[in-house]
Structure 1
């Protein structure tokens, strides 16, 4: 059985912030589409909620992968990148929370 391939470092390091950026664009695009097309507030909120759950799942998966990489015994190579990805995953999760906070506090088309 072969070991899983190590991802390229730059793309791995940038992955949590890319997930947050895609979430940011998706949520505000869905909000604009919902208002322009006359979607109900519930449908718009559900669509934005699904985008938020998907983004949090992606960031969680990336962070878990980095955490497991840190905890591998006898593997010191890539520890800095793994630690950085774990921290950026936490930061991206907080950023997703702040990005989606207006979704829960305000009506979509106000």
Structure 2
């Protein structure tokens, strides 16, 4: 015996669409913040690696010594675990049909 679910009304379908769009907007905002953060991290890494790359290409100073100078600024290294935590909420999109 097969029972069919009642067809949702137009009002219910529109309400479901509004809810989904609102969830997508929240997710878009979260992704935008993540993207901005990643962009700033990349810019910082490029800035920090520029003197190291210059020293490496000039051959005057050993790359290890040049890199050690940029690492001793008191800033902790960027961890992949911190990045994973930042990205953790972005894949929580669920597909729920009305």
In structure 1, runs of 5+ residues without a counterpart are 1-37
**Partner residue, 1:54:** 29
Please report the TM-score for the alignment, with normalisation by the length of structure 1.
0.46
Over aligned residues, Cα RMSD in angstroms?
Answer: 2.6
Quote how far apart the aligned CAs of 1:55 are. 0.3
Taking the aligned partners of 1:57 and 1:87, their CA distance within structure 2 comes to 20
Please tell me whether residue 40 in structure 1 is matched to residue 15 in structure 2. yes
In structure 2, runs of 5+ residues without a counterpart are 1-11, 52-69
Question: Residue 89 of structure 2 is aligned with which of 80, 91, 95?
Answer: 95
Q: From the two aligned structures, give the one with the greater helix fraction.
A: 1
Please report the TM-score for the alignment, with normalisation by the length of structure 2.
0.51
**Partner residue, 1:106:** 96
Taking the aligned partners of 2:81 and 2:42, their CA distance within structure 1 comes to 10
Quote how far apart the aligned CAs of 1:91 are. 4.6
The CA deviation string for residues 50-102 of structure 1, in whole angstroms up to 9 with x for no partner, is 0000100001111111111111123433260xx22x763355335311x12x1
Taking the aligned partners of 1:42 and 1:65, their CA distance within structure 2 comes to 34
**Partner residue, 1:65:** 40
Taking the aligned partners of 2:27 and 2:96, their CA distance within structure 1 comes to 16
State the number of aligned residues. 64
